[in-house]
Amino acid sequence: GRTTSALLYLDGVHVSFDGFHAINNLSLTLEPGEMRAIIGPNGAGKTTMMDIITGKTKPDEGTVLFDGMTDLTRLDETRIAELGIGRKFQKPTVFESQTIEDNLLLALNVDHSVKGTLFWRGSKTEAERIDRVLETIRLTNARNRLAGSLSHGQKQWLEIGMLLAQDPKLLLVDEPVAGMTDVETHQTAELLKEINKEKTVMVVEHDMTFVRELGVKVTCLHEGTVLAEGTIDQVSSNERVIEVYLGR
């Protein structure tokens, strides 16, 4: 089979729904350690691309390789998640009636029902991992609070933390700052930059202030393919991008 130094490699990918080409010759490469911002108008194919990467949707044509040589088009969603691809959907889905710490334990598949008994010590590595995640998402002091009591922004960070607890190689994040305050949006940019020191990240987002703050390479999708790619200044001054997306 083919090999690549990229962590994620899409080449010539096509997906159609009832003859409609949602993804139309999409090629995109993510290097290990990179963070990439994906922008583009509604219907551009951003969600479908994430669905292809996570195995929810199978391409009709094209190559999707992960971690050098693993062909994702042949694997189901569970297996792809196990390989180390974590996906954060737009809406927060945390266990509201559980504590923040228990949410992270659940993400680790720890049987939390025995936590707090004489017998539960947890594994040291798991406890350490949770402590680190709590630090990263800035919720250490809130660890015993119910997740339902968190702000919308904090719930988003907790869910990102739940993915981090699973130690993915690639984190896919869909519109994380939708509905956030300006302060939360700024803090989310800081959080993703922190996470990106260790993880490869792909983030779909419409908020251009946020994308600019990330300071990473930007890919603009349109009609299921790459319209423009480059720095935020390059992409946001691209005439075709202005026409189909920014100029509306």
Residues that bind ligand ADP (CB under 6 A): 17, 20, 22, 40, 42-48
Please, what is the minimum distance in Å from the beta carbon of residue 224 to ligand ADP?
A: 7
Cβ nearer to ligand ADP, comparing 43 with 215? 43
Cβ nearer to ligand ADP, comparing 45 with 176? 45
Please, what is the minimum distance in Å from the beta carbon of residue 153 to ligand ADP?
A: 22
Please, what is the minimum distance in Å from the beta carbon of residue 8 to ligand ADP?
A: 17
Cβ nearer to ligand ADP, comparing 168 with 224? 224
Measured between alpha carbons, how far is 95 from 159 in angstroms, rounded to an integer?
A: 10
Cβ nearer to ligand ADP, comparing 46 with 129? 46
**65-103 burial by CB neighbour count: b if 16+ within 10 A, else e?**
bbbeeeebeebeeeebbebbbbbbeeebebbeebbbbbb
Please, what is the minimum distance in Å from the beta carbon of residue 194 to ligand ADP?
A: 26
Measured between alpha carbons, how far is 161 from 169 in angstroms, rounded to an integer?
A: 14
Cβ nearer to ligand ADP, comparing 52 with 134? 52
Measured between alpha carbons, how far is 17 from 112 in angstroms, rounded to an integer?
A: 42
Measured between alpha carbons, how far is 165 from 98 in angstroms, rounded to an integer?
A: 16
Contact 187, 154 (CB under 8 A): no
- Is 44 buried (19+), middle (13-18) or exposed (0-12) by CB count in 10 A? buried
Which amino acid is located at 217 in the chain? K
Please, what is the minimum distance in Å from the beta carbon of residue 21 to ligand ADP?
A: 8
